[in-house]
Chain A
Amino acid sequence: MITTQEQAQSLADKDFIRYSRQIFLPEVGEAGQLQLKQAHVLIVGLGGLGQLAAQYLACAGVGRLTLVDGDRVELSNLPRQLLFSDDDIGHHKTHIAKQKLAVLAQGCEIDAFAEHLTIESANAVFSNLLAHGKEARLVLDCTDNLMARHCINRLSVEHALPLVSASIAAFNGQLFAVDQQRFPLGGCYHCIFPSDTRAPQNCTSQGVLGPSVGVMASMQALLAMQLLLLATPPTSATEQTVNQSFEETCQPIASTRSLLGRFWRFNAKSLQWHSAALTRDPDCEVCGLKPSALMQSTTAVSFKSVPNRGLL
């Protein structure tokens, strides 16, 4: 079905050819490709996960990426972080990624923050994410430590943004997607891993094989693309009706219900996946509190706006 919005916009001929293998999928089509073009994805962490997810999303036609990482390229990154090469060693990952992605995906606008996500820097990063009108927004957590993961989760909950989180260490990968607006029953990162959780593994101390990182990053990017394609414009009832009938007609690959609120584990030795349903913890101090209480909480980071979370 063609919406008013889609009638007003169509892809340039060259873009139609570039993205033809995606557009040929009835689940994507020209309308889906335009949805990707109007999307804005925040990628925090440009290690093995983030550098690959960024390439997939930029080259798939996502319109805008915000990249956040304070690290510089190191020699030991190169076996698995294939966007970078020897000449890049010592340079900020975000700067190199922005340069290379500008060549790979000219249609993608890229904002780069060459700093680690901290409570201080997060305001600027999330303001940037929220600054560009009516885009479909999504956050990818590609970081390598629990503190950053909790910070990103809290911000995603406060700003009612869907979060797709992947991680890998040694031969163990984990992946999940949560969205407080579309599926609040799935809870958040804090519901499964509360603040007192200790991580026994990371790539630095445990080691990792490049392709296993690539598997997790690919799944993360695939999950993100599907959620963007299934995104309902957050506006009028008319548009939502149109979107519903689009889903019914084209039978999307998966419903948001089967993608949101699920937790996948990958065993990179046996190549086996296990999935489980995520469960919201009613006592969760991050997604279980009302926004007003969240703002007053001593453990909460301070942020100005809490959009309607459709949750409480």
Chain B
Amino acid sequence: MILIHLNNVPQTLQQPLSLQALLEAQNICQHSVALVLNEAVVPKHRWSSILCHHEDRIDVFAVVAGG
């Protein structure tokens, strides 16, 4: 079992999920968010190839374009 922190909320995963699978499982639309894994932005191209690890801190947030 893997414990992660998604937007500061602890979550347990039964099996290692890719970042992309994690977002899909959470019903988060991938077209409007960016993702920070352990304080580093992960480009969207790599979401499908990176697996969540125990104690990962993942922040998902929407793009803000206003000014």
Confirm or deny: A106 has a beta carbon within 8 angstroms of a beta carbon on chain B: no
Confirm or deny: A203 has a beta carbon within 8 angstroms of a beta carbon on chain B: yes
Contacts of B65 in A (CB 8 A): 143-146, 149, 167, 169, 199, 201-202
Q: Nearest chain-A residue to B29 (Cβ)?
A: A198
Confirm or deny: A302 has a beta carbon within 8 angstroms of a beta carbon on chain B: no
Contacts of A45 in B (CB 8 A): 67
Q: Which 8 A-B pairs have CB atoms at the shortest separation, nearest pair first?
A: A281-B43, A169-B66, A202-B66, A199-B65, A203-B66, A49-B67, A276-B36, A277-B40
Q: Is the CB of B41 within 8 A of A192?
A: yes
Contacts of B67 in A (CB 8 A): 45, 47-50, 141-144, 166-168, 203, 213
Q: Is the CB of A146 within 8 A of B63?
A: yes
Count of chain A residues with a beta carbon within 8 Å of a chain B beta carbon = 48
Q: Is the CB of B34 within 8 A of A172?
A: no
Q: Nearest chain-B residue to A283 (Cβ)?
A: B45
Contacts of B43 in A (CB 8 A): 187, 191-192, 279-281, 283-284
The prevalent SS among residues of A at the interface is: mixed
Q: Nearest chain-A residue to B65 (Cβ)?
A: A199
Interface residue from A172, A279, A281 paired with B64 (Cβ < 8 Å): A172
> Smallest CB–CB gap between A86 and chain B, Å?
22
Binary CB contact string for chain B from 29 to 50 against chain A (1 if under 8 A, 0 otherwise): 1011010100111111110000
CB contact list, A253-311 vs B, under 8 A: 263, 265, 274-281, 283-284
Q: Nearest chain-B residue to A216 (Cβ)?
A: B67
In the bound complex, what is the Cα–Cα distance between A274 and B5 (angstroms)? 15
Contacts of A70 in B (CB 8 A): none
In the bound complex, what is the Cα–Cα distance between A200 and B67 (angstroms)? 14
Contacts of B45 in A (CB 8 A): 281, 283
In the bound complex, what is the Cα–Cα distance between A208 and B64 (angstroms)? 12
Q: Is the CB of A198 within 8 A of B66?
A: no
Q: Nearest chain-A residue to B32 (Cβ)?
A: A198
Confirm or deny: B62 has a beta carbon within 8 angstroms of a beta carbon on chain A: yes
Confirm or deny: A174 has a beta carbon within 8 angstroms of a beta carbon on chain B: yes
In the bound complex, what is the Cα–Cα distance between A49 and B66 (angstroms)? 9
Q: Is the CB of A277 within 8 A of B66?
A: no
In the bound complex, what is the Cα–Cα distance between A168 and B62 (angstroms)? 11
Confirm or deny: A173 has a beta carbon within 8 angstroms of a beta carbon on chain B: yes
Contacts of B62 in A (CB 8 A): 172, 199-201
Q: Is the CB of B41 within 8 A of A201?
A: no
